[in-house]
Structure 1
């Protein structure tokens, strides 16, 4: 085999492994910590004195991963199409 073919095969294998790893992460742990409140569910008010619930995560501190959101959307379309 020549070098470009080996490189392309390695790149394709790596991309497949990364994709499968992310899919596994989305199925095992569909939620991640909210980036805005760093997973606490609270943010400081503009004055800096009081705390308020984070609007992005609704005070839970967790957000749905993008891959899981895509998976849920695909399943919803499939369910709606089979009715």
Structure 2
């Protein structure tokens, strides 16, 4: 076997494993806790520190970036095949 091919396979394997692992995580658990409100769904204002609803999320959960990308391509394919 060619040493360059072996090196290329050794370099590509960890990247493929990480990518497939993240895709599996997005499929099994598509939502994650919001980092801004720490999963509470509420945040405080800067001046008076009054609680209000978090703008970034809905009830403390957000879709993962990978799941948003999957949903976009899924919708695109569904619209194209209609």
In 2, the alpha carbon distance for the partners of 1:51 and 1:11 equals 49
TM value normalised by structure 1: 0.86
Structure 1 stretches of at least 4 aligned residues deviating more than 3 Å after TM superposition: 4-7
- Size of the aligned set, in residue pairs, is 81
Residue of structure 2 in register with 1:51 after alignment: 51
Residue of structure 2 in register with 1:30 after alignment: 30
Aligned-pair CA distance for 1:49? 3.8
Q: List alignment gaps of at least 5 residues for structure 2.
A: none
1:24-64: per-residue Cα shift (whole Å, max 9, x none)? 00000001111111111110122344211101103x11110
RMSD in angstroms over aligned alpha carbons?
1.5
In 1, the alpha carbon distance for the partners of 2:15 and 2:23 equals 12
Alignment of 1:67-78 (within 5 A): 67-78=66-77
